[in-house]
């Protein structure tokens, strides 16, 4: 019977797993530099953990079922509800601000397209218990420094930054009523994806009245601080609302990361729970989906976990990021699977080879040898295939002299080395 992975799910052969490991290693390294601690939760949660946050309509996007205990459960589609539950359970014991990150595998039953599968791994970083704009800058700086750790610069990736409080104040000043704010947010969020103006019905325009579609289009064209300043100066409420965004941008400038950041009010983030600064990270050419997105969600922990703490964070998936790294040829060098390959000439050499292999492995070296008799040339071809750094050839003559032949498979040079000196010699060559 021929079988294959389910649609939207991936097999990770060693090369793909190596890229995944590289991504995870960079994620963990940079998050650690920012003082974040890793956590995890169960991949299966009660269904109502997600419906409480996103409504019943989310059920169609989930892998959900009734388990053998007659409980309605779902594979996790995101990590934030689990985070809220965990923080709520120990809120009094946790030192604030909380800096946590996780790399969960997430599952959504969605239509597949470029950059979106039905499972993916995602870096989630959340900072809980701090309401000031320096926390927003800290989270955004973390995303930028992850990109820098992958060798990407401001010509490769851009942070598009906005603030829902600023956008709300501007919309109100332009005449959008409170009951029309959600429709206005949705219009601005989708404005770059509109192909025509056929959706500008009278009913739609009425939702914004007395503001007009032209008002919303003008707001969506605001880019950078010069044009934003001209807009917010029209309204005291908007001027006040822009202070946090201004402080956040100033902090990023002070960190030397301002060249990565573009103020862009079309970044709304579709999730209704965002309450303040929001951002998305894109490739500079905008040929891919968002690499990551996030922002401030000060009410979510209260609504989902029952603990009233300010919070913000982001999620960065491995699928789009992997595509970008391939596109930019910013991939790690393919690692060899072994450091040292041991070859032997006669069957009498085999016990000595096995003893040597064990000593080398005890010294922390990755070692392989043939599991059956083969010509030396064939053994060395296998060493090349494994991308071994060094090869050791052991034969009767060498054993009689207490030596081995050590071959450098990169330079093609070889030398005789006393067995007593072999482990320190190899360790120096491999680890520098």
- 133 shares its domain with 272: yes
Q: Is residue 335 part of a domain?
A: no
Count structural domains, the chain. 2
> In this structure, what CATH number is given to the domain that contains residue 354?
3.40.50.800
pLDDT at 34 over 80: yes
- 359 shares its domain with 322: no
pLDDT at 146 over 80: yes
- 264 shares its domain with 401: no
Q: Is residue 5 part of a domain?
A: no
- 271 shares its domain with 417: no
pLDDT at 106 over 60: yes
pLDDT at 1 over 70: no
The region of weakest confidence among 42-46, 58-62, 93-97 is: 58-62
Q: Is residue 4 part of a domain?
A: no
Q: Is residue 333 part of a domain?
A: no
- Where is 394: in which H helix or E strand? strand 390-394
- 262 shares its domain with 364: no
Mean pLDDT along residues 140-166: 97
- 232 shares its domain with 349: no
Q: Compute the mean pLDDT over every residue in the chain, rounded to the nearest whole number.
A: 92
What confidence score (pLDDT) does residue 200 get?
A: 61
pLDDT at 361 over 70: yes
> In this structure, what CATH number is given to the domain that contains residue 303?
3.30.930.10
Last residue of a domain, one of 302, 327, 352: 327
Per-residue pLDDT reduced to its tens digit, 377-398: 999 999 999 999 999 999 999 9
Domain housing 267? 14-327
Q: Is residue 7 part of a domain?
A: no
For residues 138, 144, 147 and 149, what is the CA-based torsion angle, rounded to 10 degrees?
A: -60
Last residue of a domain, one of 327, 359, 384: 327
- 140 shares its domain with 279: yes
What confidence score (pLDDT) does residue 218 get?
A: 93
- Rounded Cα distance between 332 and 298, Å, is 38
Last residue of a domain, one of 327, 351, 386: 327
- 258 shares its domain with 402: no
Q: Is residue 113 part of a domain?
A: yes
- 244 shares its domain with 353: no
The count of other CB atoms within 10 Å of the CB of residue 138 is 22
- Rounded Cα distance between 156 and 324, Å, is 9
- 307 shares its domain with 350: no
pLDDT at 80 over 70: yes
Cβ contacts of 408 within 8 Å, gap of 6 or more:
389, 390, 414, 429
- 361 shares its domain with 393: yes
pLDDT band at 198 (very low <50, low <70, confident <90, very high): low
pLDDT band at 337 (very low <50, low <70, confident <90, very high): confident
Q: Is residue 124 part of a domain?
A: yes
Q: Which residues of 209-361 form beta strands (DSSP E)?
A: 261-263, 277-283, 292-296, 311-317, 340-344
Residue 86: φ, ψ to 5°: -70, -40
pLDDT band at 281 (very low <50, low <70, confident <90, very high): very high
pLDDT at 142 over 60: yes
- 319 shares its domain with 345: no
What confidence score (pLDDT) does residue 193 get?
A: 75
Per-residue pLDDT reduced to its tens digit, 260-272: 999 999 999 876 7
Structure tokens at 85: 């539950």
pLDDT at 79 over 70: yes
Q: Is residue 167 part of a domain?
A: yes
């Amino acid at each position: 019977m021929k079988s294959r992975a389910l649609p939207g799910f991936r097999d990770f052969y060693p090369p793909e797993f190596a890229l995944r490991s590289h991504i995870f290693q960079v994620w963990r390294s940079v998050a650690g530099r920012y003082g974040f601690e890793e956590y995890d939760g169960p991949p299966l949660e009660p269904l109502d953990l997600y419906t409480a946050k996103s409504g019943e309509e989310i059920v169609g996007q989930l892998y959900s079922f009734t388990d053998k205990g007659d409980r309605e459960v779902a594979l996790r589609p995101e990590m934030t509800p689990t985070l809220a539950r965990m923080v709520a359970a120990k809120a009094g014991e946790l030192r604030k601000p909380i800096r946590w990150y996780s790399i969960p595998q997430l599952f959504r039953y969605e239509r597949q397209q470029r950059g979106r599968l039905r499972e993916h791994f995602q870096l989630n970083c959340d900072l809980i218990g701090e309401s000031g704009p320096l926390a927003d800058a800290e989270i955004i700086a973390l995303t930028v420094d992850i990109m820098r750790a992958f060798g990407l610069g401001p010509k490769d990736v851009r942070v598009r930054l906005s603030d829902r409080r600023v956008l709300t104040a501007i919309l109100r000043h332009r005449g959008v009523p409170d009951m029309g704010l959600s429709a206005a947010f949705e219009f601005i969020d989708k404005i770059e994806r509109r192909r025509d103006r056929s959706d500008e019905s009278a009913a739609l325009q009425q939702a914004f009245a007395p503001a007009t579609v032209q008002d919303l289009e003008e707001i969506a064209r605001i880019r950078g601080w010069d044009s934003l300043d001209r807009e917010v100066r029209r309204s005291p409420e908007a001027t006040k609302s822009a202070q946090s965004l201004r402080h956040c941008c100033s902090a990023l400038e002070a960190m030397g990361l301002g060249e990565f950041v573009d103020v862009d009010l079309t970044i709304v983030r579709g999730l209704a729970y965002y309450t303040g600064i929001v951002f998305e990270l894109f490739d500079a050419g905008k040929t891919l989906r968002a690499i990551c997105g996030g922002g401030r969600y000060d009410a979510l922990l209260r609504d989902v976990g029952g603990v009233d703490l300010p919070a913000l964070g982001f999620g960065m998936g491995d699928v789009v990021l992997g595509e970008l790294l391939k596109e930019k040829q910013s991939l790690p060098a393919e690692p060899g699977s072994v450091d040292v390959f041991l070859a032997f000439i006669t069957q009498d050499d085999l016990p000595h080879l096995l003893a040597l292999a064990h000593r080398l492995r005890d010294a922390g070296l990755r070692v392989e040898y043939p599991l059956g008799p083969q010509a030396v040339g064939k053994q060395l071809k296998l060493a090349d295939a494994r991308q071994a750094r060094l090869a050791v050839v052991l034969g009767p003559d060498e054993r009689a002299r207490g030596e081995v032949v050590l071959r450098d498979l990169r330079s093609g040079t070889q030398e005789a080395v006393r067995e007593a000196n072999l482990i320190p010699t190899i360790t120096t060559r491999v680890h520098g």
